[in-house]
Chain A
């Protein structure tokens, strides 16, 4: 045995191993090849057993060749391994392909009713201007619902509020949220900025634009020098927040509990002011009533009208919602047909 023949054996071994590695298609088979060629009982070791028959001066040379060959086989194994793994992964990924255009798994999601949603939207705008939310009782006494609001028992303006009475003497179902003004004034001192949302009742036959139960939001601001200009400024902000930039106007109105009283009109949300059936060709839509709190009402609230003045406004929640969402029929709100509710996604 000489160096040349041993070196030749080693090179043959390498050629054989590299060929076999290249042909292997299974990562597990590569592990076997590694053991077969490079393991302790592997072919390379077996070849090297012949090293003892060589002259001592040749032995290091053989060692160097053997190392070189061992490294080459290792590298070939690693390279082939990487290659094979990526092929396998690609096959798996190909097999896992789905139709990505199928619809997603529906996450159950309910809807929120437009009345509380509208109240929340109104409260949010006025909240920005420091208006705090209060609530009054729905079963009111006649005193607070009418008399303290400057509506005497036989006042002709009582016709404006057809009332439902209950079997508790002196009590009725509040016809508006305005009695809340009295309750707020009696329970706190100026400066007052209050918002009072809630359910109201009237003796009114049901049709597309009337109902015996409906919701209102009342606003009240009282301080020294609170004026109609403040009222107009705030209502403009409110109208812009809910209906976008639009012209607004005051026109005279009448409520026994405000003096002066106004109606607040917004440029028609349907036609933009040109005139259409929705706005009775006027170009305007009334969204709320307002005015400066009547001195009699301030006094019933325990507030000196010589020192303080204030404004109040009241709006129908359904009306605001109708205008925002183009709801055609008031009955939709309390009927709760899911085909209506589910449109508020």
Chain B
């Protein structure tokens, strides 16, 4: 809310500088977001007196004036306005002046006559909306005075929190200033002279929805004369950010800014038979609102109607047909209270929110309906003349009394961790208008309110009863009063000490496994990225990354169930409208961005979530995704470049498994083709104990690389699920005793058909190795003479041993023979010797 300081001063004395005031209000919870010097953009605009006004010799519409600006020779200024006459005081922009919008005024020639500056309209200075006439200043305005000294102001931009609708006005903020400084509030004198006939002869109000409109106060002014409101009013409205319209409309807006009470003024002649009906709209009813939009009304919309149909959407916007126009003389004033929820919903429904609806949404006190109606009537009479009818139409004249709220000062201290005496608590509350009374024992204390109310008996604990002013609808429970006490006292007094209460039970952190992986991968040259969870629906179609369900090798404990995309129903853009199921597309986007920056070598990883809908429920799981492309080891003065390949990605997955205490993962070829290179893709799986790893490692199919418009030759990707990424589980590594007896090494060169995989050979050796076989490691892969073209040779080193003895030659031979036989029988292999 924009608060012109000069206007605020009408209700409360401010001895502080604007900066000090801003600081005090901020520390009281009314955060001042900005200080604007109003009039700071007027430079060299001074008060002048018109000495002569004559017709311009060469142009009918122009005048030739001489102006005394207090010093030096009178200036000759050409002016196009018609409202000027000798003797008037006017704002004069001297040559070199700067007006709002960075408009510069220089000495110019107009139709053959030099103009030494410009006379300014209110619009040109942005202080009134009048662009036709020159702004006429009061006769006593000192000549030569800088206009910014006259009208310059400081406007505070105050962020009023949603629970403090009562402070969305000058008087509300004046109350806060008073609380901060101890000053007293000056209420405007609100009184009206009722010289017309009884209002009931002009206006009848029928409330059909008292739930949605708990109070409606109406007044009627006859014989008003519509015109602009006084300049000082327009200036205030402008400074507060509202556009001046006409005296009657301005009166309503002025009251809204002053009291926080939104009202509406209708052209009384357009209200059929003077009957106002507050009801829900009927199906098919339409209304053209003030913004010239024809709206179809839905039956849950609360409207203001006359017997012929809608004339306004209650609390939000009036109808165009009942708008105050220049010819209006009869004025119906509506000052009502509407249900905040209904107003909020209606505003959303029509995407229509006004300064009025904003205030209605936050709730209105009943009392203000009466006061607001009187104030609008008073200002209308003052600015537009006319005759006010006697009395008000009032649908609910009984005004609720102030609520009484018992609280326990000891509890306030316990919550704040403070030691504030009862007397001080009471005097702090008094500063925000909350009077207090001595409490009794056994009082009902409201600990919590709706939607989960809790009332406790105070028993013998000392209590105080707070009398909550009607405008403070936000004070409903004991803790609310604690907050008032704390903020008025000043939070800078809050003590600071470290908790000395019990520690909670230990819980393993879910970040641990992620931390291990992050540190490990960064250590081998991969950079971590964090990408959007919301992606384009096209990503999935472009990539067709298969679900885990298509890969039985992925352990069930980590496999993501296949499900449907979760779609955002109100996305900001289609590009970010679906929750991703896989991370790879996001990494490809990162690669694409960096390629465009001339970065062909990219090695990145992300630990992030996948999301899907499964059986109508949302599911989330965490994955590790890796992308490698370009040089693994960039060329340097002491080495040549080495490009990343599939083995790097596998090695990284193996490293992660080792780091997490898992055994080596198993690999199953995945010849599906797109999005993978059919000969360079695999499913990875491993499960041991509570930990498991499963997913895919692959070189991307060239068509997939092309779909992302990448320059990279080969892109290696992996996306794996890891047990422990989502749920923390303590893991322990078990140590084997160091062998006391020597181990024996034997090498085997296994010749198999090209179609056999290394995984098959490896598992066959392990299967037949018996209890003595401890480790198997591939150390060579050979193709070529003397082998046939359809063959390859895989050389393994087998390590054998026993816990309790040194193996005999015969034992070792027997184990090797068993392995050899197994290979021959199972894989049709033979051994090279």
Contacts and interface: CB of A to CB of B under 8 A. Distances in A.
B487 A260 contact: yes
A213 B620 CA distance: 16
A337 B590 CA distance: 7
B761 interface: no
Interface stretch (A40-48, A60-68, A71-79, A230-238): A230-238
B341 A154 contact: yes
A50 interface: no
Given A105-B638, A305-B454, A336 B496 contact: no
B191 interface: no
A177 interface: no
Interface stretch (B74-82, B108-116, B127-135, B513-521): B513-521
A230 B616 contact: no
B567 A224 contact: no
A116 B528 contact: yes
A333 interface: yes
A23 B499 CA distance: 87
B454 A249 contact: no
A199 B579 CA distance: 13
Nearest to A164: B568
A249 B340 CA distance: 35
A249 B501 contact: no
Interface string B610-639: 010100111010000000000011101111
Interface stretch (B382-390, B409-417, B823-831): B409-417
Interface stretch (B288-296, B598-606, B675-683, B695-703): B598-606
B502 A223 contact: yes
Interface stretch (B229-237, B317-325, B445-453): B445-453
Nearest to A119: B511
Given A213-B533, A341-B527, A342-B527, A260 B479 contact: yes
A204 to B, nearest CB: 8
Given A108-B632, A116-B514, A249-B491, A228 B416 contact: yes
Interface in A253-282: 253-254, 256, 259-263, 280, 282
A173 B507 CA distance: 27
B509 A164 contact: no
A263 B521 CA distance: 38
Contacts of B521: 110
Contact of A130 (B503, B524, B533): B503
A165 B569 contact: yes
A103 B637 contact: yes
Contacts of A206: 572
Nearest to A294: B479
B72 interface: no
Nearest to B576: A212
A17 interface: no
A115 B590 CA distance: 16
B752 interface: no
A299 B454 contact: yes
Contacts of B195: none
A14 interface: no
B163 A254 contact: yes
B454 A306 contact: yes
Nearest to A169: B616
Given A103-B637, A129-B498, A147 B451 contact: yes
Interface in B66-110: none
Contacts of B487: 252, 260
B29 A166 contact: no
A170 to B, nearest CB: 10
B501 A156 contact: no
Given A191-B501, A254-B29, A333-B530, A309 B415 contact: yes
Contact of B529 (A113, A130, A139, A204): A113
A132 B504 contact: yes
A199 B34 CA distance: 31
Contacts of B498: 129, 230, 233-234, 237
B417 A166 contact: no
Nearest to A166: B566
Contact of B497 (A139, A173, A229, A280): A229
Given A229-B496, A251-B26, A252-B28, A168 B529 contact: no
Nearest to A193: B504
B570 to A, nearest CB: 6
B618 A229 contact: no
A160 B514 CA distance: 32
B569 A167 contact: yes
B526 interface: yes
Main secondary structure of the interface of B (DSSP, over half): mixed
Q: Size range of the interface on B?
A: 35 or more
Interface string B451-465: 110101000000000
Contact of B609 (A138, A225, A249, A252): A138
B523 interface: yes
B483 interface: yes
Interface in A288-304: 292, 294-296, 299-300
A26 B624 CA distance: 64
A335 B593 CA distance: 8
A157 B162 contact: yes
A130 B28 CA distance: 33
Nearest to B605: A110
B525 interface: yes
Nearest to B499: A230
B423 to A, nearest CB: 21
Contacts of A227: 414-418
Contacts of B486: 228, 252, 260
A121 to B, nearest CB: 12
B358 to A, nearest CB: 8
A336 B620 contact: no
Interface string A199-237: 101011110000011000000010111111110111011
Contact of A338 (B163, B480, B518, B597): B597
Given A157-B162, A336-B530, A295 B448 contact: yes
A341 B529 contact: yes
Given A130-B503, A338-B602, A139 B531 contact: no
A254 B161 contact: yes
A164 B163 contact: no
Interface string B524-546: 11111111111000000000000
B567 A334 contact: no
Contact of B362 (A134, A156, A226): A156
A178 to B, nearest CB: 16
Interface in A118-133: 119-120, 123, 127, 129-130, 132-133
A254 B162 contact: yes
Given A116-B528, A166-B566, A139 B611 contact: yes
24 contacts: A109-B525, A110-B604, A111-B522, A116-B530, A138-B609, A139-B579, A154-B341, A156-B165, A166-B566, A203-B572, A205-B572, A221-B499, A228-B416, A250-B494, A253-B29, A254-B29, A254-B162, A254-B163, A260-B486, A306-B447, A309-B415, A335-B593, A336-B590, A336-B594
Q: Which 8 A-B residue pairs are closest in the complex by CB-CB distance?
A: A229-B417, A108-B525, A252-B29, A227-B417, A260-B483, A254-B161, A250-B491, A295-B448
Interface of A: 102-103, 105-106, 108-113, 115-116, 119-120, 123, 127, 129-130, 132-135, 137-139, 147, 150, 152, 154-157, 159-160, 164-168, 171, 173, 188, 191-194, 197, 199, 201, 203-206, 212-213, 221, 223-230, 232-234, 236-237, 249-254, 256, 259-263, 280, 282, 292, 294-296, 299-300, 305-306, 309, 333-339, 341-342
Interface of B: 23, 26-29, 31, 34, 161-165, 340-341, 344-345, 361-362, 414-418, 447-449, 451-452, 454, 456, 477, 479-480, 482-483, 486-487, 491-492, 494-499, 501-504, 506-507, 509-511, 514-515, 518-519, 521-534, 566-572, 576, 579, 590, 593-594, 597, 599, 602-605, 607, 609, 611, 613, 616-618, 620, 632-634, 636-639
Given A138-B620, A166-B566, A199-B609, 17 more contacts: A106-B636, A112-B519, A135-B510, A147-B451, A166-B569, A173-B568, A192-B504, A225-B414, A233-B499, A254-B164, A259-B477, A260-B416, A282-B23, A295-B448, A295-B454, A299-B452, A338-B527
